[in-house]
Chains A and B, each alone.
Chain A
Amino acid sequence: MDRSSEIDRSILEESAEDLYENAPCGYFSMLPDGRFVKVNRTFVDWVGFTRESLLAGRRFQDLLTIPGKIYHDTHFGPLIQMQGRVDEIAFDIVRGDGSILPVLVNAVEAKDAAGRPLLTRTTVFNATDRRSYERELLAARRKAEDAAREKADMLNMISHDIRNVLSGILSAAKRLEGGQLTPDRQKQYLGLLRASAEGMMLLANNLLTVASMEAGKLTLQETPFDVDEFISVTAAPFIPVVEAKGLDFRRMRDERIPARLVGDHVKLGQVLGNLLSNAIKFTPRGLVELAIELTEQKSTSVRLRLAVTDTGIGIEDSHLSSVTDAFSEASTKVGSRYGGTGLGLSLSRRILELYGTELQVESKPGHGSRFWFEIALGLEGT
């Protein structure tokens, strides 16, 4: 052996000790009961106890948080004893100064000739960053799972809504098919058919709006429109059911409002449609009113108040807050809890948000409810 290889070896021997002491991970050996028998400098520095105090009978589990101690005794210890090693167990070490060090621990057991456990050789990785990534991943996963569950629930609720409407359509169709109906009866069933189909249309439009909302594509499509036509198109789908229920359906239009305005009349019609649909649903007798009032006139725009008022069952004070909550919750969540009705309210709120306004409600149980919002629309040609 020449001189140069001897030097090489001495460097290598030096390095092994140096590596043990200063490696970027903690090394320690412990007795089967957890008492430290050898620790490297990195571990000593990380945990902030002196080497002497660690070697004076302190056990690995003594450095852990309470949950870690439980986990050590129910998982880590038994695993080493059963399989001679453990891989990547996470623990939190309580440092000498009381701060927490998240670590990842691997351990392997050394046995004597008779197979009795002698020592557990352990490596400790600093897992501070990794732990926070994991927490973020976990939070993201839970959020995604919640959203998936809400969607499934919403699908369930909406399916019930659809079924109810369809059973109305089917029963009307069956009666019509049976023939021998007076013209009045025929007209009544045809009206029911149409109202049911209009209800389905409203629901379908709401679902399409949810889809574009979730794709981040809910934007206003502002075009010129005729105010009178807007009112009659919005009200038309509800006429048959209003007639069938024998309700008085009033449409009020402030004469001072210009004939033509600029705005997203499709989405505004959707909001009013949702409000009308609810008002009619919860009004057994009396009146439902759609009113559009001018509250402010400017040179290039007008400010309107659009309101749907009914003489229905009203909303108890205790329920009113949950109705207003429904405006503010995410749409699928509302859909999962309140079905199409909740979905409609929630969507209405989102649409109005695009106009920088919000839905208001006042209600008196047994007397009726009033839902309204104010909105600024442009004048045509300005």
Chain B
Amino acid sequence: MSVIRRNNVTITGAGSKPMVFAHGFGCDQNMWRLVAPAFESDYRIVLFDHVGSGQSDLTAYSPTKYASLNGYAEDVIEICRELDLTGIVFVGHSVSAMVGALAAIEAPGLFDRLVMVGPSPCYINDGEYQGGFSRADIEQLLDFMDSNYLGWASALAPQIMGNPDRPELGAELTNSFCRTDPEIAKQFARVTFLSDSRRDLERLSTKSLIIQCSADAIAPVSVGEYVHRQLPGSTLAVLNATGHCPNLSAPQDTVEAIRRFLQE
């Protein structure tokens, strides 16, 4: 199985310096549709879906490999090596900010800069540290997800996933950017929200930008500030936008923050 097919890698852009975009828990590479095009004239844009999301190859999903964020970081490194990328600007949203950090710790030579959009190294409150959630909240999330995946049962999803060359088969289905196998979605939620990468931050040496929304229920400002403190030399950009997805709700601000950082 080629890595390119496995992660549904799409490449655009007229530049030579690579910019790799990674989506977070929930949807797929479409999350970057309002941001990535802004960099197409200057960069080589690489988009992909994490295994288990979007149009990735669901048969490549392994509960063991993806039992931690390291499995996802491994894939990022594999994609970069397969495409022979170096000097990469990696842009990771939500959990993929940490996936990018883990990849950059593992293979620092590949990455030039890291853009973390709404990062959180730990979603669970732990003593002084306020991640925003309790373990019970996350257990309830997993249970709650059953309500939204019933109708999306595995009977339906593979039809879409299995016909990546015929997108019209899925075109009629709304919510398709977030459709996936319910069990995979639940494991991804568990791995995401129970992850604790706080100790990894100190091993990250890649120059980083943290893009933080001013009111984000999933990654609160205090968490963005925590990441900023843990990464000496990092830049913190707090946007006026609210919510967890400035790449969709405030794409212009997001693009400008990234541009400024890349010119530093």
Q: Do A and B come from one complex?
A: yes
Q: Which residues from chain A sit less than 8 Å from chain B, CB to CB? A: 32-34, 61, 65-71, 73-75, 77-79, 81-83, 85-90, 92, 102, 131, 134-135, 137-138
Q: Does B164 contact A (CB under 8 A)?
A: no
Residues of A within 8 A of B146 (CB): 135, 138
The answer to whether B217 touches A61 (Cβ under 8 A) is yes
Complexed CA–CA distance, A85 and B25 (Å): 20
Listed by A's residue number, 27 A-B pairs whose Cβ atoms lie within 8 Å are: A34-B243, A65-B144, A66-B141, A67-B141, A67-B144, A67-B145, A69-B217, A70-B141, A71-B141, A71-B145, A73-B217, A73-B243, A74-B94, A75-B26, A75-B178, A77-B245, A78-B178, A78-B245, A79-B174, A81-B245, A83-B176, A86-B174, A87-B175, A88-B175, A92-B144, A134-B147, A134-B150
Closest 7 CB pairs of A and B: A74-B26, A67-B144, A67-B141, A90-B147, A81-B248, A73-B244, A66-B137
Q: Which residues of chain B are within 8 angstroms of A77 by Cβ–Cβ distance?
A: 243-245, 248-249
B174 A85 Cβ-Cβ under 8 A? yes
Q: Using a CB-CB cutoff of 8 Å, which residues 3-41 of chain B contact chain A?
A: 24-27, 30-31, 33
Contacts of B141 in A (CB 8 A): 66-67, 70-71
Residues of A within 8 A of B30 (CB): 82
Q: Assess the B218–A86 pair: CB atoms within 8 A.
A: no
List of B residues within 8 angstroms of A67 by Cβ: 137, 140-141, 143-145
Residues in B with CB closer than 8 Å to A70 are 141, 193, 217-218
Interface residues of B (CB under 8 A from A): 24-27, 30-31, 33, 94, 133, 137, 140-141, 143-148, 150-151, 174-178, 193, 216-218, 242-245, 248-249
Q: List chain B residues, Cβ under 8 A from A71.
A: 141, 144-145, 148
Instruction: Given A61-B217, A66-B137, A82-B177, check contact A75 B245 (CB 8 Å).
Output: no
Chain A nearest CB, measured from B203 CB (Å):
27
Give which listed residue, B33, B217, B242, contacts A33 with CB less than 8 A.
Answer: B242
Contacts of A34 in B (CB 8 A): 243
Bound complex: CA of A69 vs CA of B215, how far in Å?
13
Judging by beta carbons under 8 Å apart, are A90 and B148 in contact?
Answer: yes
In Å, the complex CA distance between A86 and B174 comes to 6
A33 contacts B249, CB within 8 Å?
A: yes
Interface centre among A33, A81, A89, A131 (most CB of B within 10 A): A81
Q: Contacts A74-B218, A75-B27: A32 and B150 contacting too (C-beta < 8 A)?
A: no
Contact B144 A88 (CB under 8 A): no
Tell me the bound Cα distance from A85 to B121 in angstroms. Answer: 31
- What residues of chain A lie closer than 8 Å to B178, measured between beta carbons? 75, 78-79
Tell whether, in the assembled complex, residue B150 and residue A137 are in contact, meaning their CB atoms are under 8 Å apart: yes
> Min CB distance, A269 to chain B, in Å?
46
Q: How far is the CA of A347 from the CA of B103 in the complex (A)?
A: 54
CA distance A74 to B218 in the complex (A): 9
Chain B residue nearest to A83 (CB atoms) is B174
With the chains together, A41 CA to B191 CA distance in Å? 41
A65 lies within 8 A of B140 (CB):
yes
In Å, the complex CA distance between A32 and B178 comes to: 19
Q: How far is the CA of A77 from the CA of B140 in the complex (A)?
A: 20
